[in-house]
Amino acid sequence: MDGSLQSRVAIHQHDDALGRWTVATCQPCPALHPHVSTLWFGEGQVSYRRDRILPTGDSFLLINLGPTQYLIEPEPPQRRVPFRDIWYSGLHQRPIETEAPNGNRLLGVAFRASGARPWLHCDGERTAGQVLALTDLLGDRVLDLREQLLNCTEIRHCFARVEAWLLDRLDPRCQPHALVPWALARIGASAGHMPVAALAAEAGVSRKYLTDLFRRDVGLGPKTIARIERFKAALARLGGLDHVPWAELAAQCGYYDQAHLIRDFRAFSGFAPGELVGRSRPDSLSVVVE
């Protein structure tokens, strides 16, 4: 493995009651760093039937290199949609349910909140809240990328190929407005506590102007991004607690009261806080449903 890429890749093994799998993560090269938070490759078998992926404020490119995966569309009637090649998942404010009954071999790219438009070449609003076949957005030629990855013999070659493909697609005309990454950083640094009105005032623009920029460059408004950040902060604080002081947690994470916290937990995870705490968590992004 070349020195530059080797220093960016880490391998993690997981083996317990939830299943056995290996995950390789790769930090993006400097040219992709403003847009990409991480690349990853996962392979293995889980022991549960279905998981629920929680909103994170990221969007994802997902390339299936193994058995068919399934996206569960919950609206009645419930549908089990097969995922066989390349998909794009825009920013969500609701959880997504998936199944991998025959194991998985999946390469993913996690994009920062404003990171997809420069390579996808479409406004964030078009893909927000959706999981779409990438061919629907970019045409059948994107399947060539998957074929190249299927022929790779080493995961480092996969990461290098995906990075090269993304770099080739970056369009400077689709870069986010400078205020958007700045505002996202301010929201993240405050763990979602900073009011949008205060953010707009600090930037010297109207709240509507800032929201319009977010809808174009991110897909969700700054208020929704702040809600997701508060939810993530609350979720992180729950780790390792035997007893959860819910009212205290709500206050620490910027909720008006405990009822406000419960509403957001239900909106973002589908569970009340107490239910979520009692469920198995394969990783920080997901929770076991069945």
CA distance 269 to 98: 14
- C-alpha 109/C-alpha 28 separation (Å) is 9
Does residue 70 carry a pLDDT above 60? yes
pLDDT band at 77 (very low <50, low <70, confident <90, very high): confident
Q: Which residue has the higher pLDDT, 120 or 243?
A: 120
DSSP state of 6: H
At 4 the pLDDT is 80
Query: pTM (2 decimals)?
Result: 0.92
Q: Is the pLDDT of residue 26 over 50?
A: yes
Share of the chain above pLDDT 90, in %: 79
| Res 240: pLDDT | 61
Higher pLDDT, 53 or 277: 53
| Cβ-Cβ contacts under 8 Å for 220 (sequence gap 6 or more) | 91, 93, 113, 124, 128, 214, 228
Average predicted confidence (pLDDT) for the chain: 92
238 near 244, Cβ under 8 Å?
Answer: yes
Angle at 70 (CA atoms; ends 215, 40), nearest 5 degrees: 65
Q: What is the pLDDT of residue 164?
A: 96
pLDDT at 33: 95
Domains and CATH numbers, the chain: 3-174 (2.60.120.10), 179-288 (1.10.10.60)
DSSP secondary structure letter of residue 266: H
Token output for 194: 């900073």
Please indicate whether residue 249 or residue 289 has the higher confidence score (pLDDT): 289
Which helix or strand (DSSP H or E) is residue 70 part of?
Answer: strand 69-73
pLDDT at 76: 80
pLDDT digits over 132-178, tens only?
999 999 999 999 999 999 999 899 999 999 999 999 999 999 999 99
- pLDDT bucket at 80, cuts 50 / 70 / 90: very high
